Amino acid sequence: SCIPDGTNLCFNNSFDTPTISPRSASSSIPLSLKTQTLDGYFSFENIEYAAKDFGNIYHYLPIAVLHPKSVSDISSTIKHIFDMGSPAKLTVAARGHGHSLQGQAQAYQGVVINMESLKRPSMYVGTGELPYVDVSGGELWINILHETLKYGLSPKSWTDYLHLTVGGTLSNAGISGQSFRHGPQINNVYQLEVVTGRGEVLTCSEKQNADLFYGVLGGLGQFGIITRARISLRPAEKMVKWIRVLYSEFATFSNDQEHLISSENSFDYIEGFVIINRTGLLNNWRSSFNPKDPIQASQFSSDGKILYCLEMAKYFNPEDTDIINQNIEKLLSELNYISSTLFLSEVSYVEFLDRVHLSEIKLRSKGLWEVPHPWLNLLIPKSRILYFAQEVFGKIVKENSNGPILIYPVNKARWNNRTSMVTPEEDIIYLVAFLSSALPSSTGTDGLQHIITQNQHILDFCAKAQLGVKQYLPHYSNQDEWQAHFGPQWDTFVQRKSAYDPLAILAPGQRIFQKAI
């Protein structure tokens, strides 16, 4: 329902959160917030950016943004709001790099904490037998990469894009082409410092406050704000062989992917994507790759068919080039791709990991980065992936000109299942990511409404066919759906909420719990 008072406020049936920001909410700023003593400071004006995210679909205006300079700025603010009690209605959202998709880092008429302002402690690399890096929760992964490389080290598990914060990805999972081997980023953390919804500052790890540690990892920001993380590292190679090959049969493609994620001594990164009705794109994606057989490759035509691209990478140091080439040759000989479509590129380790940033620069220059992003990310059990592919690619999704569709399996046997993250039951699961961009004013197939409707068709199909799918970066609008998402883990999730954030102050933009008024 909408309020006819000129503010354009519309409320969801289940959660009283507006889908459009009011013009101003500054009249309701509690005086006590303004007079708090802090190392950092509050902003009450020009804070519209905190009502925006990468999704660019939901916009909830806060009343204040905290720029913390110390952990105590965060703990004292939360403690203060906690002490005000329920009637105060104030909520708090940590905002990492604001790259959520549906307002998850926003707080309607609440306080947004700009985590990137928290620079303490400065990064520290421990170089012992189990190397690690200590970082602030607001640190960007790209900065961690550059810092750890100074010691010849690197985190093990990544996301495809590195301009995201540690707190933001650890609140979800952090999945990429390395997850089949190392698990997601949430499985590569030794220790956290967390400010709970009561304002307490707690250190937690597998051995200390373990319930909070596992709760916070993949916990969608519900139990505490991550102010510091100790992340495990490995020796970093200097270079990367980056390879793409094509398939026209989904079953052959997915068999090869599954073979690779189960092989010892395999590639270091394994992903893949779907190409539906995209002849132009074919030339695009291979432009920076050299074909193994240029003449044959130039004759390759997709004929408008659906193609599946397997993408692999092997890290190496220049002195080991011969051994690595042999190793790659052997791995490729075990695959069944279309032989003329082997494309290879050699790039530095940093160039490879930071590859999406190049696309960002290009899209920004064309004004196409800040458009709405109605993304849909699904985790699908291996036993149902073929059926999903048959029914979705080419039928529900008839072309993918709106953005890439990633698809790759991960080996869950190597994942720690004590975190809050929810996954399908089976040992091998696929991440399928529909990474669409929408043109705001379009009413066609590249318009926001069309893409949202298409996403809903995919979800409806999954539900009807009972595929046992779970959303990644989940988004629901009522608690029944959240309960269904968490399934047997729901009770634990609720218990942790009442233990660590009993007034439901934290991360209101996830729309899981609502602060009692």
- Residue numbers at the binding site for ligand FAD (CB under 6 A): 53-54, 93-100, 104-105, 115, 137, 159-161, 164-165, 167-169, 171-176, 220-221, 225-226, 356, 473, 507, 509-510
Task: Between 53 and 297, name the residue whose CB sits nearer to ligand FAD.
Answer: 53
301: how many CB neighbours lie within 10 A of its CB?
Answer: 9
Encoded amino acid at 166, one letter: V
Given the complex with ligand FAD, which of 342 and 507 has the nearer CB atom?
507
Contacts with 480 (C-beta within 8 Å, 6 or more apart), sequence order? none
Angle at 217 between CA 213 and CA 218, to 5 degrees: 150
Q: How far is the CB of 334 from ligand FAD (least distance, A)?
A: 26
Place of tokens 């990511």: 433
H or E element, residue 243 = strand 239-247
**Cβ 31 to ligand FAD, closest distance in Å?**
26
Q: Catalytic site residue 271?
A: yes
Active-site annotation holds for 48:
no
Active-site residue, 83 included: no
CB of 176 or CB of 191, closer to ligand FAD: 176
Burial class for 405, CB neighbours closer than 10 Å (0-12, 13-18, 19+): buried
- 3-state class (DSSP) for residue 485: helix
Only one residue has tokens 């929810």, namely 422
Smallest distance, Å, CB 186 to ligand FAD? 10
| Annotated catalytic residue, options 99, 182, 373, 475 | 99
Handedness of CA 175, 181, 186, 192 (dihedral sign): negative
Set 193, 237, 268, 271: catalytic member: 271
Other beta carbons within 10 angstroms of residue 38's beta carbon come to 16
- Residue number with CB closer to ligand FAD (72 or 341): 72
Instruction: Give 98 or 272: the residue with its C-beta nearer to ligand FAD.
Output: 98
189 three-class SS: strand
Which residue's CB is nearer to ligand FAD, number 337 or number 430? 430
Q: Is 141 helix (H, G, I), strand (E, B) or coil?
A: helix
Residue 114 CB, nearest approach to ligand FAD (Å): 9
**For residues 185 and 174, is the Cβ–Cβ distance under 8 A?**
yes
* DSSP-assigned states of every residue in 105-143: T--TTSEEEEGGG--PSPPEEE-SSS-EEEEETT-BHHH
Would you put residue 220 in left (φ > 0), alpha (ψ -120 to 50) or beta?
Answer: left
SS3 460: helix
Helix (H, G, I), strand (E, B), or coil: what is residue 32?
Answer: helix
Taking the complex as a whole, the smallest distance from the CB of residue 372 to ligand FAD amounts, in Å, to 12
Cβ 214 vs Cβ 185: under 8 Å = no
Tokens of 11: 């409320």
Rounded least distance, CB 464 to ligand FAD, Å: 27
* Nearer CB in complex with ligand FAD: 172/420: 172
Name the phi and psi angles at 471, rounded to 5: -75, 140
Q: By beta-carbon distance, which residue lies closest to ligand FAD?
A: 167
**Minimum distance from CB of 11 to ligand FAD (Å)?**
20
What residues act catalytically? 99, 160, 271
